[in-house]
Amino acid sequence: MASADVFPEIKKYQADLERCMRCGFCAFWCPIYQEERVEASMTRGKNVMLRSLLEGGLEMTGELADRLSKCLLCMTCSANCPARCDTPSAVIAGRAENVNNRGLAWPSRAVYRWLLPHRRLFGNSVRLASRLQGLLLPRTEGSIRHLSLFLSALGKGRHIPEIAPRFLRQILPEVNSPPPGTATRLRVGYFTGCMTEFVFPEVGKKTVDFLTRHGVEVVIPRAQGCCGAPVFLGAGDFVTGRRMADSLAKTFADFDYVVSDCPTCVSAIKDYRKFLADTPERQAAYNTLNEKIKDITQFMVDVLALPAAAYRAAAVAKGTKITWHDPCHLNRHLGIKSQPRHIMTSIPGIEYIEMPAADRCCGLSGGFSIAHYDLSRKIGDKKIDAVAATGADIVVTSCPGCRIQLIDGLKRHSMPQKVMHIMELLE
């Protein structure tokens, strides 16, 4: 059997793999190579391995799968590649072929196939975890808890925000209308994402309050579930990813716009048509959803076109110095860079300081930081050094995952800065 038939997902990116000039520019940009100095860790090395799979020189093994898991999908290599090779997409395809050929290992199989796709079951599991955290995880400060050493699989010593006592759907109704006397300009569906729903519901409330105050009716469909990013992008489980994507495309079919305050979720939803559209029907549904979904900062600046006066500081942010971390999914995946800066610099009473290398990856990348926590932490330390150089009081970002990584890094280095979502800056 031809190797192209054995690895059809990788075959789709053969042209990208063959464009690689072996120049090694990716060695300078790859956050993982900068820490490990191992050829197989950088893009060129992964490119060689994936081409060898197609040519029959390698077989899909556990060691190769581990190498493919050591990629942040930050897109830094592609953004700086002279040949514009999209090797990260080929890496995702390689992860999918690993699942196709070797299956999905336990406990990932249970989490990705039976827990995340079923919102009620997932919510009940999170609710149980919220009760256990008080027994297992000591609180270090405010709502930050410390993962004990016995939980080494999740990153021993990591500082994480606690699960919220009330989830977003318990706080807000399904339909949220503008205040009386305010004309309704638009009606949008709000994709909350798992982190906003279960860990940072205050961000969701801020988002809905801001939009309704500016004439947007916000609907939070109860049928929505996870975007599937950890399932099909992280683990390579395209079969389960399609089930989740189909559900979301159906849930948000009747809205002119879909907004989210999580750029990872927006980016994943936009990737449905690239990785999961295996039939014309799916392609059409995913294309439609792709056109509707907007990051919240993009929606506020480009769609609502709000004047600068619309942005007023929340009490906690008044008189502070802030800096901004560019999430990889927002900046390089979605191409959104100016919109959040426009919002922050429009807020009176706040001093904005640009962070050195603001778009450098923080090192989280979902499951990567669980499988490779020590490496993730080393990459994150460079971001913490950049935060320290600004002298800011608050580090602002829009990705819940980046927020967790920043909190962990700041706590480990005993630094005083708060980490906030951009929506929390606004009154």
Q: Does residue 331 belong to any structural domain of this protein?
A: yes
For the cut 90, the answer to whether the pLDDT of residue 129 exceeds it is no
Query: What's the pLDDT band for 157 if we cut at 50, 70, 90?
Result: low
pLDDT tens digits, 82-100: 999 999 999 999 999 999 9
Query: What's the pLDDT band for 137 if we cut at 50, 70, 90?
Result: low
For the cut 80, the answer to whether the pLDDT of residue 139 exceeds it is no
Residues 270 and 327 in one domain: no
Q: Does residue 189 belong to any structural domain of this protein?
A: yes
Q: Which two tokens stand for residue 163?
A: 């699960």
Residues 288 and 315 in one domain: no
Task: Report, as an integer, the average pLDDT of 121-148.
Answer: 64
Q: How many domains does the chain have?
A: 3
pLDDT of residue 153: 40
Residues 200 and 259 in one domain: yes
Residues 313 and 299 in one domain: no
CB atoms within 10 A of CB 9: 20
Query: What's the pLDDT band for 152 if we cut at 50, 70, 90?
Result: very low
Task: Report, as an integer, the average pLDDT of 245-270.
Answer: 97
Q: Which CATH number characterizes residue 324's domain?
A: 3.40.50
pLDDT of residue 149: 37
Q: What is the amino acid identity at position 41?
A: S
Of how many residues is the chain composed? Answer: 427
pLDDT of residue 216: 97
Q: Which two tokens stand for residue 291?
A: 């056109």
Residues 326 and 358 in one domain: yes
Please state whether the peptide bond connecting residue 178 to the residue before it is cis, i.e. omega within 30 degrees of 0. no
For the cut 70, the answer to whether the pLDDT of residue 141 exceeds it is no
pLDDT of residue 1: 37
Q: Does residue 120 belong to any structural domain of this protein?
A: no
pLDDT of residue 165: 87
pLDDT tens digits, 102-116: 998 877 778 888 788
Q: Does residue 144 belong to any structural domain of this protein?
A: no
Q: Does residue 128 belong to any structural domain of this protein?
A: no
Task: Report, as an integer, the average pLDDT of 262-272.
Answer: 98
Q: Which of 77, 102, 127 is the last residue of a domain?
A: 102
pLDDT of residue 142: 57
Residues 266 and 342 in one domain: no
For the cut 70, the answer to whether the pLDDT of residue 133 exceeds it is no
Residues 247 and 327 in one domain: no
Q: Does residue 211 belong to any structural domain of this protein?
A: yes
Q: Does residue 54 belong to any structural domain of this protein?
A: yes
Q: Which of 303, 325, 340 is the last residue of a domain?
A: 303
Residue among 401, 420, 421, 419 nearest 411 (CA): 419
Share of the chain above pLDDT 90, in %: 82
Task: Report, as an integer, the average pLDDT of 137-160.
Answer: 53
Residues 312 and 298 in one domain: no
Q: Which two tokens stand for residue 346?
A: 């429009």
Domain that holds residue 254: 168-303
Q: Going by C-beta distance under 8 Å and a sequence separation of 6 or more, which residues neighbour residue 72?
A: 31, 32, 328, 361, 363, 365, 368, 379
Alpha carbon distance 244, 117 (integer Å): 6
Beta bridge partners of 190: 259
Q: Which CATH number characterizes residue 80's domain?
A: 1.10.1060.10
pLDDT of residue 13: 95
Residues 320 and 215 in one domain: no
Q: Does residue 125 belong to any structural domain of this protein?
A: no
Q: Going by C-beta distance under 8 Å and a sequence separation of 6 or more, which residues neighbour residue 340?
A: 297, 324, 330, 396, 398, 422
Query: What's the pLDDT band for 122 if we cut at 50, 70, 90?
Result: confident
Task: Report, as an integer, the average pLDDT of 359-381.
Answer: 93
Q: Which CATH number characterizes residue 275's domain?
A: 1.20.1050
Residues 179 and 289 in one domain: yes
Residues 79 and 31 in one domain: yes
Residues 188 and 281 in one domain: yes
Q: Which of 102, 126, 149 is the last residue of a domain?
A: 102
Q: What is the rounded average pLDDT for all residues in the chain? A: 91
Chain centroid, CA 84 distance in Å: 23
pLDDT tens digits, 49-66: 999 999 998 999 999 999
Starting at the earlier edge strand, list the strands of the sheet with 144-146.
139-141, 144-146, 159-161
pLDDT tens digits, 1-60: 344 478 999 999 999 999 999 999 999 999 999 999 999 989 999 999 999 999 998 999
pLDDT of residue 119: 81
Task: Report, as an integer, the average pLDDT of 220-235.
Answer: 94
pLDDT tens digits, 371-385: 899 999 999 999 999
